[in-house]
Each structure stands twice: as C-alpha cells, then as structure tokens.
Structure 1
Amino acid sequence: MAQLENARLMVLRAVARQLSFRKAAEELYLTQPAVSLQIKALEEDLGVQLFDRTGSRVALTAAGRVMLNHAEQVHAMLQQAEHEIAAMSGELAGQLGLGASTTIAQYVLPSLLGKFLGAHPRVKPTLISGNTEHIVNAAVQHEIALGFIEGPSRSKDVREEAFLVDELVMIVPAAHEWAERGSVSVQELKSVPLLMRERGSGTLHVVEMALERHFVKPASLEIAMELDSTEAIKSAVEAGLGAGFVSKWALAKDARTGTSFRIVDIEGLRIKRDFLMIYAQGIEPQGLVQEFRRYLLDRTAGFPDMKKVHRPRA
C-alpha cells in the first residue's frame, strides 16, 4: 500500500496519528526534516496551514482535519483497489490492519489469524495491541481496519459486533485459604488484596459493573495493584500478591500444564461478556477486511458457549 499511496498523504496521515513530526519520522523510517518538508510542500500546494505547531506540540487545524479525512478516503480506496485486483486472480492479498485489546491479542487472535494466513499467504497483516480504550481510538482514527475489544466501546464513532463469549473468573494463589474452599461470597472480596487491570481496560470496566450490580462499590475494595496485562495479573497471583480476575481464554494453556493458582467461584456471580469486533462508523468492511470478518464469524460460531450476552450496537 505504501508504494501506491502519494508520499505527502502518507506523511500527513502519520503526523496526524502521532501528533509529532519526530514520531511520524520514526514510524515511516524517514528523517524528521524529510517529514517536515513533505508537510510544508503539501501546505504550500493547498495554500493553507494543516498543522498548528507550538514548540514540540502539533495539532491539526480545521483545514488539516478536512484534508486528513480525504487522505483517509484515498488510502481506503487504494487498499480496496489492491484487494479487488488480487481477487481477479482468485486469491486474497494486501495489507490487513488489525488491533486487539491484550487478552484477545494474546489468547484468541493468534490461532485464528494463523489459519487464515495459511490459506491466504499473500495477506500481510499488522497487529497492534493495547487496552480497549487504545484500540477504540485506533479504529476511530483509521489506524486499523478492524479492532477487537473486551467490553463495550462506549463510543458513537465505531460499530460493534459480538463474535465470541468470554467469562471472567477469579484466581488465587494455590496456597491461599480460599483455594480449598472453592467458592466465596461477593462480600468477602472486600477482605482480600485484589490485583486489577488499569483504567481504560475493558476487563476492569466489566468487573466493576458486575460487582456494582451486587452492591459492591469499587471504592470498598482493597486494590493492591493495577496491572496492564492478564499475564502480569497471573504472575502476581502466583507470587502471592493477591487475587485477580482473568479471562477463561487466558487459562486454557495453564489447565494443560498446571499452575500455582486456583479458580475460585463467587457465589451468585458469573461475569460474562462479549468479545466485540469494531470498525469506524461510515466505513463498511469490504474486500479483504470483509473476508476476514466473515472468516472470524464462521470460525467462532463453532466455539463453545457462543450464546451472545447482548445484541451488538449498530
């Protein structure tokens, strides 16, 4: 795609994403002066300023936002052309920009993506990961064609589609007194140090909402630590630092290899959620993106416990 796209528009999109000439240069493997020259030339051609520059801070002007919108459309059209030309030979090919929140990126997407690429070797995917908030922003800013998140986006700028059901469970160290009991009451959660995901995490949002429905306010809990990944929570639990909530998908390999933590049921509380596929409003999946979307829905339809928890928001 980079070979087809106009260099100035490619630089414009990178600077708008990064809001930094230096970071855009690093992303594109260019020098910072080269990036500045491309933007300056584009501004001179258009006769307007596209970015406000205050010291090291960069922000799009009103004209810059208009130009960025058209640059994104050009990028999407070139990508679609690449897909359609490849389809004429009966095969899928081209760039596939994906983003996934950490649990999905680590435990769900790799095997699904691997099978898809095995059937379509000319597809070149890129995958970014981060918490739900980060992936939603990436979709809104057209940095990715499809995103995968662990809870509702709470954004009007993306469309959501449920593709897989997850369940969050509590784990404790194997030596913890609760490990032998097997189940505890919701109110007992107030008595132990908890290891929780960071703000902006879909997992944290879903856990807090579930507990509030059982009259347990987040402020009443003893939060020992906030961590930025499921693996970090698992490691901290194994080290005896507290109890934590993790996805059952993250425990599949542990069930086979053995662990030093145990799952503990919470009486009357099952925390289920949809894993959601998202894409920017106003851009319908087409070509390669649509084929990958269909592939995912077909593959996950056969996964266990696929009864949707809620209907996707249009």
Structure 2
Amino acid sequence: MAQLENFRLKVFRTVAEHLNFRKAAEHLFLTQPAVTLQIKALEDDLGTRLFDRAANRVSLTPQGSLLLVYAKKIAALVSQAEQELGSEDGKVSGDLPLGVSTTIAQYVLPRLLGAFLDEHPRVQFSLHSGNTDEIVHLLLDNKLSIGLIEGPARDRGIHTEPFMQDELVLIMPRAFASDRMSHDQLLASNLLMREQGSGSRRVVELALEKAGLKLKSFKNVMDLDSTEAIKSAVEVGLGIGFVSRWAISKELELGALKVAEVAGLKVDRHFSLISRTGPEPQGPAAAFRTFALERARLLADPARKRPRSARSSR
C-alpha cells in the first residue's frame, strides 16, 4: 500500500522526535542534506521557522511545537486508515513501531518476526532496542505501539502480559572444574552484571536477595552494557555472570562456556509484552500481540537440552 502521510510532514515529525538531523536522516534512510532540504521547503511553505539551531543544538520553536501536535494526530489517522483499508481483504497491514529489550532483540525476536511475517507480510516494523527502562519510557512517550521486555514494568500506565518463560543461568569459563558452585565460591568471585535499568539485572538482584545473597557481599561487581559483553568477559576468565539460556546455545555447543548450579538459587523470569493502559492495541499491534501470546510459547529454546560438551569436563 502506498504511504498516505505527507512526506515532508513525516520528515518534520521524525526530526522533531529526535531533535537531531543526523539521527532523523538515519531513521528515514536519507542523507542529512536531504532532510535539511525537506525541512526548509516545509518552513517556506508555511512561512514560519519550525526549528531553532544554535551551538549544535536543535529545538522546536513555538510554531514547531504546535505543528508537532497536529503531525502526530495526522500520522495516527493515516495509520488507522491504512489498517482499515488493508483489513478489507482480510489481511493485516501497516506500520508497527515495536520496542524490544536487548536480550529479546538479539536472541528471541528473529524467530518471532520470521514466523509472524510469513503470516502477515504487509506489516512493516520499526524496531527500537534498549534496556527495559528505555522501552517503557518510549512506550509511555507514545513512540511505540507495544514492547517486549525482560524485567518487570512498575509504571501504572503500563499493561503487562507474560508471553514466554526464560531462565537466567550462571555461566563460567570452561576451565572451571565443577558444574556446581557453593555460596562461598559465588561470593568470592567477580560477578559480571548488566547495567542499571536492565530487566536482567533486576531479576538477578531479586533472586540473589531471595537466596540471602547481596551484591555488596561479592568480591567485586562489574557492570557491562550487554549480554555479549558478559559472555566475552567470562570466556577470558574475568569473572562469572548470569545470562539468558537463549543467549548461550552456540557457546554450550562449542564448549566455550559452562553452566553452573548454585544451591538454593534459581533465576526464572517471564518475557512480557507491554502496552499502554486503556484501549487495546489495534491493527498490526493487535495481530502481533495475539501472535506473541499464542505462539511464542511453542518456540523451542535451543539451549534447554544441555549438550554433552557442557558436562564433559566434570
């Protein structure tokens, strides 16, 4: 289906949301000069300045702020029209701004998207990745239709629905002699954790506290900004860390990492689909929500069946 939204208005809305011409250009797959040209043409048509540019900072003028209110309403109406027109032939179509927290984006989403797009090829995704707090913020700011997160969403304006179970496991270098670890051994280790705001970190902290273990009791705690960084650091012997089973299937198959059990400590969680409280999602967002809630549980976790290489050095 052709894009119904006025192109210059779409460029304006994108720049206004990013307040950065370079980032807006990247989002729109345009060059920065092309974005600047579209904004200048729109300002000339309207006879008013929409942005103030000073000292490498971009801000909306009062006229720009007013136009943004209407631009968002127009974009929402266009999206609704596209969805209703597309639904006449029984097929879901339209744009779906989807926010996904980091672990889900890297290890789970590709499977979900592939299966979903097989059934709904006319849906166009705009993906935003970040930690749980960042995705919640984008959703509340109306920049996303729905989100997929790893940790709990505490905001009252968020509706949460679990769609898949996950387990965070303790990984260690393959040279470690055993696949079990005592509390004393755990506390004597360098613990590698995700950054503040990460859903994974929040879940691990709660599980440790439930087992009577506190972060301040560890020999050392190092914050890293991704699961991949934790895996790499563990592989070279910098410490141990908790990661999703979804993230380590290849490493277990290759014997690059080991999984250890800690007495009295099990870190289970649910991946959750989040939306704003109020009216239920419509169009592509509703279709994806139904798909995730009904079908995601059927996806096999490739790391659930631990390969022999993960046990062989016992």
TM-score range, shorter chain: 0.7 to 0.9
Distance 1:123 1:33, change over 3 A: closer
Counterpart secondary structure, 1:199? coil
**1:226 matched to which residue of 2?**
223
| Alpha-carbon contact 2:215-2:221 (below 8 Å) kept | no
| Alpha-carbon contact 2:11-2:39 (below 8 Å) kept | no
Distance 1:77 1:105, change over 3 A: same
User: Which amino acid is the alignment partner of residue 208 of structure 1?
Assistant: E
**2:289 matched to which residue of 1?**
293
Distance 1:138 1:232, change over 3 A: same
Alpha-carbon shift at residue 60 of structure 1 (Å)? 4.8
Give matches, 1:100-111, under 5 Å: 100-111=100-111
Give matches, 1:46-85, under 5 Å: 53-60=53-60, 67-85=67-85
**1:33 matched to which residue of 2?**
36
- Work out the CA distance in 1 between the residues paired with 2:151 and 2:52: 35
**1:123 matched to which residue of 2?**
123
Alpha-carbon shift at residue 201 of structure 1 (Å)? 1.4
Give matches, 1:255-294, under 5 Å: 255=252, 257-282=253-278, 284-294=280-290
- Work out the CA distance in 2 between the residues paired with 1:301 and 1:222: 38
Alpha-carbon shift at residue 14 of structure 1 (Å)? 1.1
- Work out the CA distance in 1 between the residues paired with 2:22 and 2:179: 55
**2:139 matched to which residue of 1?**
139
Alpha-carbon shift at residue 66 of structure 1 (Å)? 5.7
User: Which amino acid is the alignment partner of residue 88 of structure 2?
Assistant: M
Q: Deviations over 1:87-108 (max 9, x none)?
A: 2122222322222112111211
**1:201 matched to which residue of 2?**
198
| Alpha-carbon contact 2:112-2:292 (below 8 Å) kept | yes
Counterpart secondary structure, 2:248? helix
User: Which amino acid is the alignment partner of residue 228 of structure 1?
Assistant: D
- Structure 2 unmatched ranges of 5 or more: 302-314
Counterpart secondary structure, 2:163? strand
The number of equivalent residue pairs is 298
2:187 is the alignment partner of 1:190 = yes
2:244 is the alignment partner of 1:247 = yes
224-233 or 50-59: bigger deviation: 50-59
- Work out the CA distance in 2 between the residues paired with 1:109 and 1:9: 31
| Alpha-carbon contact 1:86-1:93 (below 8 Å) kept | yes
Alpha-carbon shift at residue 239 of structure 1 (Å)? 1.7
Alpha-carbon shift at residue 214 of structure 1 (Å)? 3.6
- Work out the CA distance in 1 between the residues paired with 2:67 and 2:263: 55
User: Which amino acid is the alignment partner of residue 85 of structure 1?
Assistant: L
Counterpart secondary structure, 2:134? helix
- Work out the CA distance in 1 between the residues paired with 2:202 and 2:59: 30
Distance 1:183 1:199, change over 3 A: same
Counterpart secondary structure, 1:296? helix
TM-score of the superposition, structure 2-length normalised?
A: 0.82
| Alpha-carbon contact 2:160-2:272 (below 8 Å) kept | yes
- Work out the CA distance in 1 between the residues paired with 2:79 and 2:203: 35
Alpha-carbon shift at residue 115 of structure 1 (Å)? 1.1
Distance 1:263 1:24, change over 3 A: same
User: Which amino acid is the alignment partner of residue 84 of structure 1?
Assistant: E
TM-score of the superposition, structure 1-length normalised?
A: 0.82
**1:149 matched to which residue of 2?**
149
User: Which amino acid is the alignment partner of residue 182 of structure 2?
Assistant: V
Q: 1:210 aligns with which of 188, 195, 207?
A: 207
233-242 or 218-227: bigger deviation: 218-227
Distance 1:285 1:267, change over 3 A: same
Counterpart secondary structure, 2:197? coil
RMSD value, Cα: 2.9
Alpha-carbon shift at residue 171 of structure 1 (Å)? 0.7
| Alpha-carbon contact 2:179-2:259 (below 8 Å) kept | no
